[in-house]
Copies of this chain bind each other. A is one copy, B any other.
Amino acid sequence: MAVPDRQRGPVPATVQDVAARAGVSVATVSRALRGLPNVAPATRSRVLAAAAELRYRPDPNASRLAAGRSHAIGIAMPFVGQWYFAQVLAGVEAVLAGAGYDLLVYAAATPEGGRRFLADALPVRKRVDGLILVDLPLLQEEVGPWADSGVRLVSVGQRSDPFPSVGIDDEAAAHLAVSHLLDLGHRDVALIGAAPPGAHDFGLTVPAARQGGYERALEERGIPVRSELLAPAAFDVGLAATAMDQLLRGPVRPTAVFATSDEMAMGAIGMARSLGLDVPADVSVVGFDDHDLAAAGGLTTVRQSPVDIGSWAAELLLDELRTGVVEPRHVLAPVELMVRQTTAPPRTP
């Protein structure tokens, strides 16, 4: 038996082989291939030619071990299957692929899972040079360990000072959405996606910020915030539908609803319609995100571009990795109100 089952085919070439073929030392090969200075042009092209002929590919693990850098970055988030997260991931992936970095994905799945992940930097160190945290709340006491770990952090959405971040102004965006409803004449505006009790325990700020914008918009018009109109729904379509059902049967029936994600908005609209109500005639709904399906559904919403947000986060991280400089910038991504067909003035009684 000549070869063990795996690993057939031509034995991969190593730096040694390339060096021999080019008639130089391995050090020169390493320099030439990585584009470092202090290599004579003629030598470099000889090395390049030899490498090409041998179809040489550096072993990433050997170089990671020797250099202490992985040329990989990680992205950690609550779920990979939800629209927003998948979009951010897409944006990150595109930038990293272009830069020749590997992308590792970590999903937290539950708040506890997120806590466990953030609580210990050791498992990821040496695996990635940097990490993008998407809507995962870093606690104050975890900052030090991560800073010491050598893993560069950038956060998306949820901010994690003192690390750089990319995201939108959630408070202002929510204010924009709710003001649109108020401008139309609504006064009984419900919030689907309110900050749930306990969210603060996990340090989540996004739901709270959006609720803050909702409250400010109401208060600016002298409309009191009523807890009966506040429904948490954990960014889940089904829970949003249930919440809508209860709101519509509740003591004060809202004439309009602000859902803090388009997925929740669609769940709410579906419920309203299955209850025989017309949207927007009977109840207006404004969402958040501008989901790929929002336009098709005629959904009025606040648009953000998670793909861009992901791209910027990746670029921020790559910059930091390349320059070594940590600029604790906070990039604010734009939002825009997209008025479509799910909002209208309240029915005049």
- Further pairs besides A9-B145, A83-B83: 11, Cβ < 8 Å: A12-B122, A80-B89, A81-B87, A85-B86, A86-B86, A97-B106, A103-B104, A237-B293, A263-B293, A269-B296, A270-B297
Task: Please state if A81 and B89 are interface contacts (CB–CB under 8 Å).
Answer: yes
Q: Which residues of B contact A107 (CB under 8 A)?
A: 90, 93-94, 97
Which residue of B68, B80, B82, B297 contacts A93 across the interface (Cβ within 8 Å)?
B80
Q: Which residues of B contact A93 (CB under 8 A)?
A: 80, 105-107
A237 to B293, CA, bound (A): 7
Q: Which residues of B contact A148 (CB under 8 A)?
A: 8-9
Of the candidate stretches A40-48, A59-67, A184-192, the one touching chain B is A59-67
Q: Which residues of B contact A104 (CB under 8 A)?
A: 72, 102-105
Task: From known contacts A9-B148, A61-B70, A70-B61, infer whether A90 and B81 are also in contact, taking CB-CB under 8 Å.
Answer: yes
Name the distance in Å between A194's Cβ and chain B's nearest Cβ. 20
Task: From known contacts A102-B104, A102-B127, A126-B59, infer whether A295 and B307 are also in contact, taking CB-CB under 8 Å.
Answer: no
What 0/1 readout, one digit per residue, does chain A (48-82) give for beta carbons within 8 Å of chain B? 00000001010111101100101010000001111
Q: Which residues of B contact A126 (CB under 8 A)?
A: 12, 57, 59-61
Name the distance in Å between A47's Cβ and chain B's nearest Cβ. 18
Interface centre among A6, A59, A274 (most CB of B within 10 A): A6
A105 to B107, CA, bound (A): 13
Which residue of B64, B83, B271, B296 contacts A270 across the interface (Cβ within 8 Å)?
B296
Q: Which residues of B contact A72 (CB under 8 A)?
A: 104
The A contact surface, by secondary structure, is mixed
In the complex formed, the residue of B with least CB distance to A273 is: B298
> What are 13 of the A-B contact pairs (CB < 8 Å)?
A8-B150, A9-B150, A55-B122, A57-B122, A57-B125, A61-B126, A80-B89, A86-B89, A269-B296, A270-B295, A270-B296, A270-B297, A293-B293
A71 to B183, CA, bound (A): 56
In the complex formed, the residue of B with least CB distance to A241 is: B296
Name the distance in Å between A314's Cβ and chain B's nearest Cβ. 13
For chain A, the count of residues having a C-beta within 8 Å of the partner chain is 65
Interface centre among A57, A80, A241 (most CB of B within 10 A): A80
What 0/1 readout, one digit per residue, does chain A (265-302) give for beta carbons within 8 Å of chain B? 01101110110000000000000000011011110000
Which residue of B80, B103, B122 contacts A90 across the interface (Cβ within 8 Å)?
B80
In the complex formed, the residue of B with least CB distance to A104 is: B102
The yes or no answer to A30 lying at the interface (CB within 8 A) is: no
Task: From known contacts A81-B307, A93-B105, A237-B293, infer whether A62 and B60 are also in contact, taking CB-CB under 8 Å.
Answer: no
Interface centre among A12, A90, A127, A324 (most CB of B within 10 A): A90
Name the distance in Å between A219's Cβ and chain B's nearest Cβ. 31
The yes or no answer to A123 lying at the interface (CB within 8 A) is: yes
Name the distance in Å between A339's Cβ and chain B's nearest Cβ. 15
Task: Please state if A59 and B55 are interface contacts (CB–CB under 8 Å).
Answer: no
A330 to B223, CA, bound (A): 61
A12 to B124, CA, bound (A): 13
The yes or no answer to A149 lying at the interface (CB within 8 A) is: yes
Q: Which residues of B contact A38 (CB under 8 A)?
A: none
Which residue of B12, B59, B267, B298 contacts A296 across the interface (Cβ within 8 Å)?
B267
